[in-house]
Structure 1
Amino acid sequence: MISNAKLLILIKEFKDGTCSETLFYQKLTELITAELHCSRASLWLYRDALLDEIIAIDLFDAPSGKHFSEIRLHEDDFLPYFDAMRNDGGIDAAVAMEHPATKCFNDAYFEPNDIVSLLDVGIRYNGQLVGVFCCENVAEIMVWTDEQKAYLEQAGKLITFALKPLLQQRFAALFAS
């Protein structure tokens, strides 16, 4: 069974100021990769309330041990994905290259990175979609379990607590009413 204990400890460290913002994001994606036994995990936030661009805060690639950030995806280039996230709040694509919402990534992203499976869960703040946790598996298909999905959804809920000031600032227009 996947436990939230390590995630809660990490969030406490961040809130207490004993973990820098950059280190928090890196530890977060490393933890999710380890807990879900996948190849890659990333945290993405929408640029603003328009939800037409999403920016990687941190992407951890376990096979290489490297972290990446500031990758930007725009709705104009990946409309099926953006529509699915807005409408469904998540995507479970064991065979990502065939999924209607994710096959738009085949040439530009999946093939060059050997990504086979994808699990994306929307992060909501005050009921509004503000970001995405993304897990990917390379080389072999991963059928995501209900436990993995529940863990990632819970992580999304918990992360809004840690990121509350950032989310309030970035999405102020949504919450002004």
Structure 2
Amino acid sequence: MNGTKAKNTIEKLRCTFSYFGLPEELVSDNGPPFNGEEYKKFCKSNGITHRFSPPLHPCSNGLAERAVRTVKSILKKQLYENFQKKLNITIQHQLSNFLLKYRTTPTSVNGKSPAEMIFKQTPRTRLRIFKEKGKDKERDKRIKMNEDSGRGRMREFTENQDVLLQLIKNGKPNE
């Protein structure tokens, strides 16, 4: 974020709420953006109950702290790798790439990604496109094999050879 003023925080929250809707409750630390009158009015006008985590007690906000640590760790690694490869990729670009990968990776708990659990559909990624192309080729091969196996040997005809023909209409032989 460009700053931690209430106005900037509210702007980011509005962006998040545009995706997921309004929450019933928000839990935050006791930082300045969450103590101002502007933030209180924002929560009240949107029907949001705001709760504070206990001061000087980060373990009460453990999940958020762990998530922040994970993001920072990954971004540091990406920045270092991109510096070594002499790539000029913005932090926002790298963050977006990380979030896409994180949100679309299945968890070990239930085998579903966070995005899949929220949106009830599997998000489309480059890996998924690659897998789908492979499945299409395999599926096409299986269909062809099934069709060919029921057909037997293909007959060959010569020019002017008599051929018996049966017309089928609406799934029944035409009489």
Report the TM range for the smaller structure's normalisation. Answer: under 0.3
With the length of structure 1 as denominator, give the TM-score of the two structures: 0.22
Structure having the higher helix fraction is 2
Q: Which has the larger radius of gyration?
A: 2
Greater RCO (CA < 8 Å, at least 6 residues apart) = 1
> TM-score scaled by structure 2?
0.22
Answer 1 or 2: which has greater strand percent: 1
